[in-house]
Structure 1
């Protein structure tokens, strides 16, 4: 009897240890951290070209070029650090960039932009890896459908993340309604922005601190730092394999056009839509209002699309809907649209902003879910490829924007939709064909 009594607590302790974790809380902590960090960074980015002119434009161009190249090596870095540590380290780049804006010069902004390119690459690869990993752990522990959990977690994350555009642009709208500060910004003076960037620095600091509170995943993504005794040659070979191997997979090659388009459409909104569509119709202050509408619909659509995601079939349907919505806007601008006065002149840009936001919400949630489902054995490599192609497309638009017309850019966007849609539909058919052949194998 005594021995049984002594064993009983051990059984209870084992049961307590085996109680599955609920990772939903970590999704909200992760999403809140990104919301705060990018609320500050997004608002600061919007002011770069206005306040600092050439310094701001070149800094952003350098940032996205650095982001592109660093994304090529982000996969092994995230694998070495673990996704949680990569997320924490990644936030430091955004903090440093905001801090550099308090003492803007070539000696502070350029190094900060270069470092932010590295930090952004590991934070985004870490985000995709971490979110997919905890979704798999959650689905396994609670016996849920893996694709649905990945879709739901991505929907929550991207929905909350998209709110940074709404909040940040509402702040910008309030700032632009202050005539004195608006005049300071238009003159290119930095004297009126110290308080503004100090507030941004406090916000991004809070987001950095919050990142420490997410738990490590039990999945393989959090484990397996490489042995320090591995030779330099072996490390170099491993790095090259991490860059090249994903591109040897036909599935990845077929997704690349969609990845590149997702970057193109974001850069189009930031660089062309606000300058050539919104500003002529409703003025400088209206840009922030239109972008707030864009962010609101982006957030709503991200949450909705995430809830509807259950597998490749649902992803295919949702992606096609988002691309079709974008195609309507681009063809409208290319063939029919002209700036008009009155209430319609105000409503049209807001409608366009809403539909563009819906398309962005679709692409962000569905691309993340798609990569998580198809590339289970190399999640870091898959998300690194996503950021390589997105940042490359964004950098190209930033550098080409001053030299091409809106009509030329619209032709590029429609072409991008056509190529990415055809490649994606072919991917869906091929994957479905392979799945069907396996399901009929005795």
Structure 2
């Protein structure tokens, strides 16, 4: 409870810090309520020709160059808040294009989404690091005042994991609200169940046996012209589809307004320079930013974290694409995707809160390693799971387990990168998005090429590699930390001895 009370004290000690962190979290919650709600349905709604997963793959493919080039430059030139605002506008445009889904709209919109997504998340991470630094400075000043008054104060708690824990606890609830919106909109209340257009296929080809490339038995197409005109994408009733998209667009617009009006600019002051720098100076600054980005990519600890970071993206791609389509929609219908993924979202919220507090006590590395072992057990278990349409509680149970693991990835990888690469935070968070996006690209690119069983074997192999390289990275970072701290402790000891003499 000490960690929890200390984390609360960090927020309550400064109303301005609390307002900015909570407003930032609320803005992202609203935006990703819309995005996650739509993304969970992409593989099912836009399944013809693999349009939905192709769009998701394009999104994360565009995140790669954006992470390398756009994010560092945008953060340096615009600052965290304005970078996030521009990124959110890209999401709004994507939702508008999704009103008329097709290759001419979804693919360009997905590309824009990828270009905007990397700066958006890198800006969030940098802004949270800046808030944590301000909180640490205020806490240090407060502790100094307490010590002067003879009060030793309480146990010091790492601020950054607490802040990331609060942020992702709030934001990951987007899976609850986004999927709740989709479920309430798509469920057929006329007969208390799911309409024929969203009905299940056949449990004999579901679960680990599911092969997206093969037409599944039991799928039915509309027969009359009236049915065709009344249906929207994915065989959904057109009225329901446009109602759903209207809800998503409105929520995204409110998100931008919250960011604009309630989140303060928090950029550190820059050195006074002429507003219009010469061309040579601008080129030098650009090359310096690129040098920092490349230096981050070749850092030995960064290279060792690559498999784990890719695995984080691959795991989330599996839950968004393969689990929703091959396990849930296949057995229970598209409308059930929203209901099952609510369990996923609830699990993310609870786990994000607990993971942030656990990391504040023992550091992010042990918690990440525990999540890695849990994911390995889930993936192996999925190879033996005979999924059935009834009862549905096993689907909810797997959604809870997958949500817990994904929440740990999202929450603590940011904290880990912020801790390990504090001296190059902007480039580090861009690298995080780069490698995580590569995991998404892999997961969505082979979505229609491999069966789920084959994908699970790929994920298990990568997970084993991630465990080995992650442990090595933790050991290297621990040794580096000792090498930095030891001379400082020696100097302090010598100073104290000289004062005693």
Pairwise same-fold verdict (TM > 0.5): yes
Determine the C-alpha separation between the residues in 1 that align with 2:388 and 2:106.
Answer: 40
1:48 aligns with 2:98: no
Aligned residues: 420
Partner of 1:372: 418
**Contact kept in structure 2, 1:139 and 1:146, CA below 8 Å:** no
Instruction: Please say if residues 87 and 123 of structure 1, whose CA atoms lie closer than 8 Å, have aligned partners that are also in contact.
Output: yes
Match of 1:322 in 2: 371
TM-score, normalisation: structure 2: 0.77
> Is 1:430 aligned to residue 476 of structure 2?
yes
In the superposition, relative to structure 1, how do residues 218 and 63 fare at CA in structure 2: closer, same or farther (>3 Å)?
closer
In 2 relative to 1, CA 365–224 (structure 1 residues): closer, same or farther, beyond 3 Å?
farther
- Alignment map for 1:23-422 (pairs within 5 Å): 23-52=17-46, 53-54=48-49, 55-73=51-69, 74-143=71-140, 148-178=158-188, 184=231, 185-187=233-235, 190=238, 192-212=240-260, 213-217=262-266, 219=268, 228-231=277-280, 233-310=283-360, 313-334=362-383, 336-340=384-388, 342-343=390-391, 346-422=392-468
Q: Hey, what's the Cα distance between the residues in 2 that align with 1:50 and 1:411?
A: 23
- Structure (1 or 2) with the larger CA radius of gyration: 2
Q: CA deviation at 1:396?
A: 1.5
- Tell me the CA shift for residue 376 of structure 1: 1.5
Secondary structure in 1 matching 2:336 = helix
Q: Distance in 2 between matches of 1:222 and 1:124?
A: 26
Query: Residue 11 of structure 1 aligns with which residue?
Result: none
More helix per residue: 1
RMSD over aligned CA atoms reads 2.7
Contact persistence 1:92–1:208 (CA under 8 A): yes
CA drift at 1:340? 4.4
Evaluate the alpha carbon distance shift between residue 279 and residue 222 of structure 1 in structure 2; reply closer, same or farther with a 3 A threshold: farther
- Report if aligned partners of 1:26, 1:215 keep a CA contact under 8 Å in 2: yes
Q: Is the 8 A contact 1:51 1:186 kept in 2?
A: yes
Structure 2 CA distance for partners of 1:243 and 1:415, relative to 1, 3 Å: same
- Which range is displaced more, 60-69 or 256-265? 60-69
Does the CA contact (< 8 Å) of 1:281 and 1:349 recur in 2?
A: no
Partner SS state of residue 193, structure 1? helix
Alpha carbons of structure 1 residues 208 and 300: separation in structure 2 relative to 1, 3 Å: same
**Aligned 8 A contact 2:164 2:356 in 1:** yes
Cα distance in 2 between the residues matched to 1:191 and 1:420: 46
How many Å separate the matches in 2 of 1:236 and 1:181? 56
Contact 1:247/1:253 (CA < 8 Å) preserved in 2?
yes
Deviation string, structure 1 residues 357-402 (Cα, Å, up to 9, x no partner) = 1111111111111111121221110110111111111112111011
1:7 alignment partner in structure 2:
none
Decide whether the 8 Å contact of 2:43 with 2:321 is kept in 1.
no
Give ranges in structure 1 of 5+ residues lacking alignment.
Answer: 1-18
| Residues 215, 50 of structure 1: alpha-carbon distance in 2 compared, 3 angstrom cutoff | same
Which secondary structure does the structure 1 equivalent of 2:158 belong to?
helix
Deviation at 1:278, TM superposition (A): 2.8
Distance 1:38 1:429 in 2: 35
Structure 1 counterpart of 2:499: none
Shift of 1:236: 4.7
Query: Structure 1: how far apart are the matches of 2:401 and 2:109?
Result: 34
